[in-house]
Amino acid sequence: MALRDLLNRSDFRLEDLIFPLFVYESENVYEQSLISGHMNKSKVYVDRFEDLLEQLIDLGISQILLFGVPKKRNENGNLSSAKHGVIQKSIRNIRKNFGNNFRIFSDVCLCQYNTSGHCGILTNKTDKRDIIDYSSRTEIDNDKTLVSLGRVSLSLCESGTDFIAPSAMMDGQVLYLRKLLNTHGYEHVKILSYSAKHNSCLYSPFRTNNYLKPDFIDKSSYQCSFYNKRESLREILSDIDEGSDWVMIKPSLWYMDIIRHAREIIKMPIVVQNVSGEYALMKSAMTLEFINGAHIEDKNESIKKPLLSKRFLGSNQKINFRSREKGQLQKLTNMESLTSDGFGWNENSFFNNDPIASFILLLKRAGADKIITYFLLDLLSKKGIDKRTI
């Protein structure tokens, strides 16, 4: 599956892909965040924002999901709703300089703006030590967080966003935000809800990049459990009932069973997000040439399972493979499971001349309508087309 073949498929359009874009308000923080090498093409310092947007237009990219990384954080993250916040200013600049060339999705959460790194406001019951080491289960004040998310959403709508994308996983967030937007005359602004956002170690590169700390933040008190598929499906159906226009499942590759089940029971557009850990895993494999088109004709069977090999996992020691992801990797070491999952995967489909294109196609076959992916510029850049490297 070469890239050109993917783009020429009748069941695939470039409009099916959404580019996640992290806009940094501080150049120093932006430069520091580039050290790890992960997600670099999805990051931009705010003063270079317009140059990147021109590049995206040249590549035919018309959908972007915006995240803001501010200069300063405070306890409640109230800078997330500031009129002159980093994302609010970015949206206005897009509208001023590019009109409606972009469909803008704006993340609605507090985690980038508060000092705890959590998606909501901490309760008074939370042990202060949690804020220092992030090591124990933390409780969130759901109702106070909804009010803050409402303020953020209104400020984004005033700036000109097309979609708000609440990712905080607070109970009742879609219903609350839909009513609030309608009351203030924003019926036309749609909601892409992070309906089944699972508590996962695969967010680790993202968190390390944006907080510049390696600490694990336990969000299990409000994100979906990877043990309970029924809970994930209930969350999706609940968001639809509350007024969501699109629903999201996150992460992607390890959750294709949930994508498939959701596709079978709902007609709502399903979005999946290819998260930083998935990007880092494949990037590492390709950098080390475990997945490389030049090796496809090699008869050595040891390269048939690069994504699942011990050598591959060993190169990503920063990601702690506990939970569902670890279990799925153990199950998938049997190649028979790859050919019998109903996704149309054969043993060579992932390990060919364009593994990224195959990865995207795999998610589409599972049932995703739209894919938010860090791989988008890798797919479309001239270097990415002529030579498969990252």
Catalytic positions, written as ranges: 197, 250
List all residues 6 or more positions away from 234 whose beta carbon is below 8 Å from its beta carbon: none
| 260/245 Cα distance (integer angstroms) | 19
Burial of 362 (0-12, 13-18, 19+ CB in 10 A): buried
Largest distance between two CA atoms of the chain: 64
One-letter amino acid identity for 37? G
CB 369 within 8 A of CB 16: yes
303-309 long-range contacts, Cβ below 8 Å, gap at least 24?
Answer: 303/351, 304/335, 304/347, 304/351, 305/333, 305/335, 306/351, 307/281, 307/282, 307/350, 308/332, 308/333
CA 100 to chain centre: 23
List all residues 6 or more positions away from 129 whose beta carbon is below 8 Å from its beta carbon: 135, 136
One-letter amino acid identity for 203? Y
CB 264 within 8 A of CB 270: no
One-letter amino acid identity for 244? S
How many helices, marked H, and strands, marked E, lie in the chain?
A: 17, 9
Q: Phi, psi at residue 247, to the nearest 5°? A: -125, 155
Please state, as a whole number, how many other Cβ atoms lie within 10 Å of the Cβ of residue 343.
Answer: 19
One-letter amino acid identity for 91? I
Q: Indicate the SS3 state at residue 217.
A: coil
End-to-end CA distance of the chain: 17
* 65: enclosing H helix or E strand: strand 63-69
* 19: enclosing H helix or E strand: strand 17-24
CA 240 to chain centre: 20
Residue with tokens 């090699």: 298
